Structure formats: C-alpha cells, structure tokens
Structure 1
Amino acid sequence: MRHTQPRVVPSQSLDPMLILVHRLLGAGVKKRTGGTTTSWIGVRHSSTSSESNKGGNSHLDERANSAKDTLKKNAAILHENIYTLPNLLTMTRLISAPVIGYWVMHGQYKEACMLFGVACVTDALDGWIARRFQMQSIVGTIIDPMADKTLMTILTVTLAMQHLISVPVAGLILGRDLGLVLSSFYYRYISLPEPKTFARYWDFSIPSAEVHPTMISKVNTAIQMAYIGLSLVAPVLDFSGHVGLEYLGYTCALTTVWSGASYIYSKDAVKILYPKK
C-alpha cells in the first residue's frame, strides 16, 4: 500500500459504491467553483487585540481584512446552495428506487421498467447539467452515488426474490458492496491522522485515504448494470430464463468475485494520504 499526497479523484464513470467509499474515507470531497477547486474545509479564525488596532498598525489591519475575506469565502463554501436542479433530479431518482422495488415485487414490470428508464435518464442528465451550468455541490457528490447504489441494491434484492436473477449472484453483488463499506470504515480509522477522535473520524473534510477503481471493477459495474437491467426487462419482453441471460449471470458472478479480490491484492487500490512518522 503506497503513500501519496491528497488529491481529487474524479467520480465520473466509477462504481457508485466506490464513490460512496471514497466519501467515507474523506478523500476528494471538493467542489469546483468558478474555474478553481476549493476544499470543503473548516474555517480557521484569526484574532487581533483591540489595543493593537487602536495603535494603527497597518500590517495587522491588512491581516484582519484578509481574515474577513477568507471567512466570507469559506462561509459561501460551507453554506452552499443545495436546492439546485441536479440535486432535485438526484433526489427524484432516490425516491423512485423503493417505488420500482414495490412494482417488481407485485409483478408490475412494465411500470417498473418505465420508471427505471426515467431514473437512467435523470442519472445522465443531472451530471451534465451540474457540469454545464456550474451547479456542482458537495451534497451532490454524496447523494448521487447514494441514489445509484440504492436503486441497484433494491433491484438486486427484489429481482432475486422474484427469481428473475440468480440468488447466489445477488448474494455476491451485495456481499461485495458490504465488504467495501466495512473496509472503508477500517481504512478510515487506520489512516486518520492523530488525534483519532470520534468527531475527527466523521469529519470528512479531513482526507485520510483514497480508493482507486481497478479496471476489472469498471468492467464488473457495466456487467452488473446490464444483467440487472436486462433481468428487469425480461418478463416484459418474454425472455426470462434465456440461456444468454443465464450466462451473463455467471459472468457477473465471476467479475464480482474478481473485482472484490482486486481491492485486496492490488497495492494501488487503496492509498494512505498521511504516512506514519
């Protein structure tokens, strides 16, 4: 496991679960504003005594003015506008997930497919709008992968309960995701700079480690989405149990195991940002 300096890892085209893990580790939680990247950090206050101000020390006046400007800028960062169109689209996708799951459980596959299609469109649209119109937000970087993973998890469970996907394959998918989340809590603890307090552990403005997706993980994400999406459409188009879908499930199981193992044995998968002294 190598050590490196803190940096931002783009979240586009990554597994939603990996993005969530990245947020849990506190790495790369940054927002883009006006062409410059600014970290979501706490504000450090500067104070000067009233006696020094009365003395007319111009140097202290400049520092005080600079501190005020910094406070104003950081206040804008810490109190960002979360009521944006991209975040609204993401929230609709998050809310639609249990509705889709309900329809699957009650055999209303056409309705589930239609709403799933709308969710896929909003997934592509919210990211494009955020980048095109400079509406990126820290909240968006968290709820977007959360919405994606919530939808995929609910579909995995409900489709398995309806015997539309293999139960063992569903178990592997869910088990891998659970393993990644538990691992993120462990790496967060061992990589957090001293002092290791409860408040600092949950302060994600303090980056401590970062996760890099492996190539097989990206392949696995694509195969999982194809397998779950086609399994949802199968009862509508009447190809449930097709041999091609069965082999796709086997492939999904193989890449899921391979992907999970790649994070265990790859030396570049997890990097500690602050090496021990």
Structure 2
Amino acid sequence: MTSVLGTILDPAADKALMTTLTVTLSMKGMLPVPLAVLILGRDVLLSLSAFYIRYTSLPPPKTFSRYWDFGIPSAEVHPTDISKVNTGLQLLLMGTTTISPLLPWAIDGPLTGLQWIVATTTIWSGLSYVFSKNAYRVVSDKSKQTPP
C-alpha cells in the first residue's frame, strides 16, 4: 500500500537516520569531516529542491496550509538507481564504521576505500537528480482537466 504521505515519510526517515549517523560518527572522529559535509550537503540540497518543486508545482492558491496538505498532489519525486545504490553504500559505511572499533583486526584500508566509493556515489547521485529527466514529475489535477 502506498500513500502520498508514505512517499514523503520514507525518504525523510532515511535522511534522519543518515544525518544522525553522519553527524555522530563525524563528531567522534570516525568519519572524515569532508565526507560528512558531502553527505549532509547533498541531502540538504535535495531537501531544498523538494521544497522548491513542491511550491512551484502546487496549483493555486498557494497558501501555507495547502502547501502542507499532502492530499493535494503536485509532484512526484522518483529516486534514481544510483541514489538507491548510494543509500545502500552509505548505510554499509555507517554500519561498518560503527562496528570497526569492536573488531579484533584493523580495517582502516578497506574503510578508507569504502569512504571514497561513498563520496563518489554521493556526488554521482546528486548529479543524477540534476540531469535526469525522470527524477521528478509534476502531477496535474485531473479534476480540472476538460475531456477531449
């Protein structure tokens, strides 16, 4: 079962989890600050873009209450394939980084490699939203359309 609210809450929960893990691991010195800035920066820019797309695609009148009324569809955002891969790799990095101090052997080399891979996929994912024609689609109000 899907709903407009569910399509908003699921990515929002992913962003909240990733933000919490990124900030916490970075503050503990377990994640490089430039990588944390990259991950958080991409998420902030995507969130701001979503707010902008919602505003520009919302049918008039554009009021505060209508903006937050998710029963009024205005646009659908579709995650790109690389974005899904990036989310998986970010979660793998966060989990691996979290358990690394508990392991009986050092995994600094593989962890650094994973950090570089995540940095690359994070940039690629962000750019995919900019250059993909299918990243979002404006939903028209079918009730106001006249039949042909």
Smaller-chain TM-score bracket: 0.7 to 0.9
Equivalent position SS for 1:271:
strand
Map of 2:134 onto structure 1: 268
Map of 1:150 onto structure 2: 16
Aligned-residue Cα RMSD (Å) equals: 2.3
**Structure 1 portions without partners, runs of 5+:** 1-7, 11-27, 30-137
Deviation at 1:238, TM superposition (A): 4.5
Pick the structure with more helix per residue: 2
Instruction: Tell me whether 1:172 sits opposite 2:38 in the alignment.
Output: yes
After superposition, what is the alpha-carbon deviation per residue over 1:15-44, rounded to whole angstroms, capped at 9, x for unaligned? xxxxxxxxxxxxx42xxxxxxxxxxxxxxx
For residue 227 of structure 1, the aligned residue among 93, 106, 127 is: 93
Instruction: Tell me whether 1:252 sits opposite 2:118 in the alignment.
Output: yes
Q: Cα 1:174–1:240, aligned 2, differ >3 Å: closer, same or farther?
A: farther
Q: What is the letter of the counterpart of residue 61 of structure 2?
A: P
- Conserved 8 A contact 1:164-1:240: no
**Structure 2 portions without partners, runs of 5+:** none
Moved over 2 A (4+): 140-152, 238-241
Q: Tell me how far apart the structure 2 counterparts of residues 266 and 173 of structure 1 sit (CA, whole Å).
A: 20
Map of 2:48 onto structure 1: 182
Equivalenced residue count is 142
| Larger radius of gyration between Structure 1 and Structure 2 | 1
TM normalised by structure 1 equals 0.47
Map of 1:193 onto structure 2: 59
Q: Tell me how far apart the structure 1 counterparts of residues 71 and 106 of structure 2 sit (CA, whole Å).
A: 47
- Conserved 8 A contact 2:15-2:43: no
Instruction: Tell me whether 1:163 sits opposite 2:29 in the alignment.
Output: yes
Q: Cα 1:177–1:210, aligned 2, differ >3 Å: closer, same or farther?
A: same
Instruction: Tell me whether 1:211 sits opposite 2:77 in the alignment.
Output: yes
Deviation at 1:151, TM superposition (A): 2.7
Q: Tell me how far apart the structure 1 counterparts of residues 135 and 13 of structure 2 sit (CA, whole Å).
A: 24
Q: Percent identity?
A: 55
- Conserved 8 A contact 2:23-2:36: yes
Q: What is the letter of the counterpart of residue 183 of structure 1?
A: S
